[in-house]
Amino acid sequence: MSKSKVAGISEFKCDNAGGTLINLRGYVDTISALGKQVAQLDVTTFADAAERVIAGIEESQEFTISGAFDDTATTGPDVVLSGRVGSLGSWEWSPMGTVAGSRKFSGEALCIRYTVTGEVKGRVQYEAAFKMDGSATVGTN
């Protein structure tokens, strides 16, 4: 269990439209929950006094990343993510940095959405949504 807040050491990388893994850590403020999740299969019969379940196959999760919009940097979120919508690519998230032995989540995902929003007296932000293709790999750097 982490005993410190996520800081500048956290890294999120994803493929650009050309298939090159780009580090977006300077542009990501929020990453939705990532990990593993399995389907629950109901195996309750008339003889049971309560519901019974067993683990099914691993479910393909959906996750989002968001942060400050930047359309000037060649490796910023607008350039990298706007070209990814509708395509499958690799991603990696190292919540506590890339020091050997630290946790890393990775896999392949379809970018299903990229949006930009803004408000008066607020900053312009982006959000990208991904649907994993298969299961995530949960390992270490």
For the stretch 3-31, pLDDT in tens is 445 555 889 999 988 889 999 988 999 99
Mean pLDDT of the chain: 88
Q: What is the pLDDT of residue 17?
A: 85
AA letter at 52: R
State how many domains the chain has.
1
2 inside domain? no
Q: Is the pTM of this model over 0.85?
A: no
Average pLDDT of the residues in 59-77 = 88
28 inside domain? yes
Q: What is the pLDDT of residue 6?
A: 53
Average pLDDT of the residues in 34-44 = 89
Q: What is the pLDDT of residue 1?
A: 40
Of 21, 13, 19, 102, residue with least CA distance to 65: 13
Q: What is the pLDDT of residue 7?
A: 52
Of 114, 97, 106, 111, residue with least CA distance to 137: 106
Measured CA to CA in angstroms, residue 116 lies from 48, 64, 94 at distances of 51, 13, 25
5 inside domain? no
Could you tell me if 52 and 42 are in contact, meaning their C-beta atoms sit under 8 angstroms apart? yes
- What is the domain extent for residue 28? 11-140
Task: Output the domain CATH number for residue 82.
Answer: 2.40.30
